[in-house]
A and B are shown apart, each in its own frame.
Chain A
């Protein structure tokens, strides 16, 4: 069974804080993705990575960065969290999703 895990299910941060969301997969997949899910907007791609240390911008990369130092781990970084980044964040490894992190920025 493919396992995709995310570091937190729920997270509350304050405006201006640096936020790290981590995703780990155990299937040796090359492609990993970060999406945010908002009501009525579906799943929007933030960044994706097709190899270690490789990254590509998705459709809404502004305000985010990513890191992929090891094949199994893909991190999403909010450099300075803002209230409009309150959302559900979903990591995917190839076609398999993690459980999501609901981030609230106060």
Chain B
């Protein structure tokens, strides 16, 4: 089955700096890669996703990149703000029955 590894497990950045979270996946059949943000005490929420036919996608201050050959994908947050503090999860899906396998999460702390 699919295995998703996520690094780092914790990340502290100064407000205004950029943050990068990296993930790798094992199953070359995976073709959909969502990212979730989970604030303390709340449910995970989808913030951005990318499909395997696209190399990069941006939405305001967040962007995702995908390298299919290396089986790497990353989340980039620019101009970080305190409200970006949360746990972020990457995930990979085979797109068949949309079975989604998650990484172990990155706790991002943005220091004002």
Contact = CB atoms under 8 A, between A and B. Distances in A.
Interface of A: 31, 33, 35, 40-45, 48, 50, 56, 58-59, 90, 92, 94-100
Given A40-B9, A43-B105, 9 more contacts: A31-B98, A41-B104, A42-B89, A42-B102, A43-B44, A45-B101, A56-B97, A90-B44, A97-B44
A48 B6 CA distance: 23
B100 A42 contact: no
B45 A40 contact: no
B46 interface: yes
A92 B102 CA distance: 13
A94 B98 contact: yes
Q: Is the interface of A mostly helix, strand, loop or mixed?
A: strand
Ordered nearest first, which 7 A-B pairs have the shortest CB separation? A42-B104, A43-B102, A97-B43, A50-B97, A42-B102, A31-B98, A42-B105
A59 B1 contact: yes
Nearest to B97: A50
A9 B110 CA distance: 29
Given A90-B43, A97-B44, A100-B43, A31 B103 contact: no
A73 B33 CA distance: 26
A39 B15 CA distance: 26
Nearest to A97: B43
Contacts of A35: 102
Contact of A97 (B1, B9, B45, B104): B45
Nearest to A38: B104
A42 B1 contact: no
Interface in B73-112: 89, 97-105
Interface in B1-16: 1, 6, 9
A33 B100 contact: yes
